[in-house]
Amino acid sequence: MAKIRFQALAQALNREPVNFDETVKRSELFGQNVFNEQNMRQFLTNEAYLGVVSAIEHGTKIDRKIANQVASSMKQWAISKGVTHYTHWFQPLTGATAEKHDAFFEPIGGGLSIEKFEGSQLTQQEPDASSFPSGGIRNTFEARGYTAWDPTSPAFIYGTTLCIPTIFVAYTGEALDYKTPLLRALHAVDAAATDVCKYFDKNVKKVTSSLGWEQEYFLIDKALASSRPDIMLTGRTLLGHSSAKGQQLDDHYFGSIPTRALNFMRDLETECMLLGIPVKTRHNEVAPNQFELAPIYEEANLAVDHNSLLMDIMGKIASRHGFKVLLHEKPFAGVNGSGKHNNWSLSTDTGVNLLGPGKTPMSNLQFLTFFINTIKAVNENEELLRAVIASASNDHRLGANEAPPAIISIFIGKQLTKVLEELQDVTKGKLSPEEKTDLKLNVVGKIPDVLLDNTDRNRTSPFAFTGNKFEFRAVGSSANCANPMTVLNTIVAKQLKEFKIDVDKLIEKKELKKDEAVFNVLREYIKASKNILFDGNGYSEAWEKEAQKRGLSNNKTTPEALKVRISDKTIALFEEMKVMNKVEVNARYEVDVEEYIMRVQIESRVLGDIAGNHVIPTAVKYQNTLIENVAGLKEIFGNEFEEHAKEQIILIKKISEHIEAIHLKVHKMINARKKANIIDNIEDKAEAYCFKVKPFLEDIRYHCDKLELMIDDEIWPLTKYRELLFIR
């Protein structure tokens, strides 16, 4: 039985680094496989080029004639690079990306054939999508789904396939993917933020949301990973005693990158360059065999596509290097899990980062406006932000003694806290000339210096301001960033819309000057949003108590956290901002609740199998060896045998106890599952899985891990933590 483990170990130990030579400068590789501006200019007619640019910049429709021209040029470009197939590339609610390849090749009769790709094939397709989760949308409406070209994310070549980023919607218009609501949210925040910018600069015509993600992951030898059924089927270890050495010495973080891992990274980064993913940073993370990759930030929709694409190609490239990539939030107990910080900001078409300090008091007042509105938006929607990153796998981080807690709070640092305190004392109504001057010179004017000194970063905060952006750190490593980005941009859009109304009211009714009105509104916003600001230790019990007093939510499990996703307030928010209608909101909720149920169900089954098929038989086998030994001792020593067999007898008993406990608990877990499975209401079912089934996972694991320590290493069938985490 332990054969697989030892074969895997032999394979892993014998593996040589796969060389990867970088011969061409990265700047030369960048975007080579992307139908980007440069390639469009080269391959498109001027008319078609302008049509696409206008669609990208203003969302105008691309007519059939232009679409035909674009398709023809895309085909020409792709074929010149050895491409044979094309696919609409989309992000259904499974969280992964989806593709169905069609050949350009088409027979035209008489034994002849051509390479064909027309505008209609570029702009729309109808994949047989009946097996994608839809949360009941397609059933209720008996509608089919179709994919439609998203020109704001350029087509790219992967392997020999031309991939066209698309949205995926039902014929009745409901979104069936992650991208559609994201695009709507980005549109909403653009409209609302542009309106607000006009207070400060009339020239602003567009505001873009930017995202810079930081992807954490584990790299485990492929053979070792394959030797573990739990890793193969659930992406994480469901059992395994912790290694004597873990991350205590902090000797991995930012350490020198192991050669095999480095070669993988160079290979991956080269592919990223070709695909136009601007990756920049790589390093070892805290846990052994844990790493991070981060790009330079991009427009949010593109950044989301790039992260989804990255997660897909990581696995493929890792395989070439004999690795398996684990994107799960908590693959190993006892060492850090993986997250995906979402760095977020807004910037104008005039080149101003709205969350960065400016050079003049006016531009700093603009910064404060966006800064404070974001804080207020998060304060009022903290529970929704928590809900949107909830998943069975992320539950192992949030609220489980791992960074960050399940309570959403914002860290802004001491200096900015002081600025807000001063602004909170601004006079009501009209400001005296002295006060205005004082505010401009001493509060608003000093912001750039204040931010330079914004060094006291708090690593426990789930939502932190880091100088020129907010960093949403609670996002899980395996998540599709579209979800958190949709919610964040929607709540900020809604908040900015309200801000505009509030300010205009003061200007009209109280006849305040623009900046006076802005100060007046911000003052009230600061007072109303204080609850969400927290600079202390997010892991402490004191904070849990304090947060409860403040009325902040603390939903530790996914079934609890998800509920707010279908509250009246949430539905009203998404409908008002035209991001999702009630049907879409409900459908997503259902998909996520069901996914939760299935994840826990699968884990429970897998652990039941491993405990029954691997652990208990091994324990019995070892126990038999001990029994044989005791019997032998008895033969030699007669009545004195107990003196010599003391420890063995204790072990035999202990093994029996653990075997019994495992048997009993697996049995109980199966019963709990049976009970849960006949529950019709999916919310109740999810709770049954969460509170009645899931606790057995830890329970059973406890006994299995005890046995791992007792049983002869030579026959233990499951690759151990020290092997998974330290062989590289």
Could you list the residues that contact Mg ion (CB under 5 A)?
341
Cα–Cα distance, 717 to 609 (Å, whole number): 13
Q: Which of 103, 150, 115, 119 is nearest to 44 (CA)?
A: 119
**The binder of ligand ADP chosen from 177, 214, 383, 592 (CB under 6 A):** 214
Give, for 193, the enclosing helix (H) or strand (E). helix 179-197
Residue 264 C-beta: closest distance to ligand ADP, Å: 20
Question: From ligand ADP, Mg ion, none, which one binds at residue 625 (CB under 5 to 8 Å depending on kind)?
Answer: none
- Choice between 281 and 681, CB closer to ligand ADP: 281
Residue 67 C-beta: closest distance to ligand ADP, Å: 32
- Measured over the CA atoms of residue 300, residue 302, residue 304 and residue 310, the dihedral's sign is negative
Q: Which of 609, 602, 563 is nearest to 694 (CA)?
A: 602
Using CB under 6 A as the criterion, what x/- string covers residues 159-198 for binding ligand ADP? ----------------------------------------
Residue 485 C-beta: closest distance to Mg ion, Å: 16
- Choice between 468 and 629, CB closer to ligand ADP: 468
Residue 212 near ligand ADP by CB under 6 A: yes
Binding range to ligand ADP, per CB under 6 A, among 247-255, 343-351, 509-517, 649-657: 343-351
Cα–Cα distance, 36 to 57 (Å, whole number): 14
CA 164 to chain centre: 22
Binding range to ligand ADP, per CB under 6 A, among 33-41, 206-214, 365-373, 688-696: 206-214
Cα–Cα distance, 58 to 566 (Å, whole number): 32
Residue 482 C-beta: closest distance to ligand ADP, Å: 16
**The binder of ligand ADP chosen from 242, 468, 581, 629 (CB under 6 A):** 468
How many CB atoms are closer than 10 A to CB 548?
12
- Measured over the CA atoms of residue 462, residue 459, residue 186 and residue 492, the dihedral's sign is positive
Binding range to ligand ADP, per CB under 6 A, among 140-148, 432-440, 462-470, 531-539: 462-470
Tokens 């990756």 locate to 279
Residue 340 C-beta: closest distance to ligand ADP, Å: 11
Question: From Mg ion, ligand ADP, none, which one binds at residue 296 (CB under 5 to 8 Å depending on kind)?
Answer: ligand ADP
> Which ranges of 24-154 does DSSP label H, i.e. alpha helix?
26-29, 37-43, 46-58, 64-80, 119-123, 137-141
**The binder of ligand ADP chosen from 237, 307, 343, 391 (CB under 6 A):** 343
Residue 104 near ligand ADP by CB under 6 A: no
**3-class secondary structure for 337-386?**
CCEEEEEEEEEECCCCECCCCCCCHHHHHHHHHHHHHHHHHHHHCHHHHH
Applying the rule CB under 6 A, the residues between 288 and 307 that interact with ligand ADP are 294-297
Question: From Mg ion, ligand ADP, none, which one binds at residue 8 (CB under 5 to 8 Å depending on kind)?
Answer: none
Residue count, binding to ligand ADP (CB under 6 A): 15
Residue 465 near ligand ADP by CB under 6 A: no
Give me the long-range contacts of 469-472 (CB less than 8 A, separation at least 24): 469/210, 469/212, 469/297, 469/343, 469/344, 469/345, 469/353, 469/355, 469/356, 470/343, 470/344, 470/345, 470/355, 470/374, 470/410, 471/341, 471/342, 471/343, 471/344, 472/341, 472/342, 472/343, 472/344, 472/385
Question: From Mg ion, ligand ADP, none, which one binds at residue 719 (CB under 5 to 8 Å depending on kind)?
Answer: none
Question: From ligand ADP, Mg ion, none, which one binds at residue 294 (CB under 5 to 8 Å depending on kind)?
Answer: ligand ADP
- Choice between 468 and 567, CB closer to ligand ADP: 468
Residues engaged in binding ligand ADP (CB under 6 A): 210-212, 214, 294-297, 343-345, 353, 466, 468-469
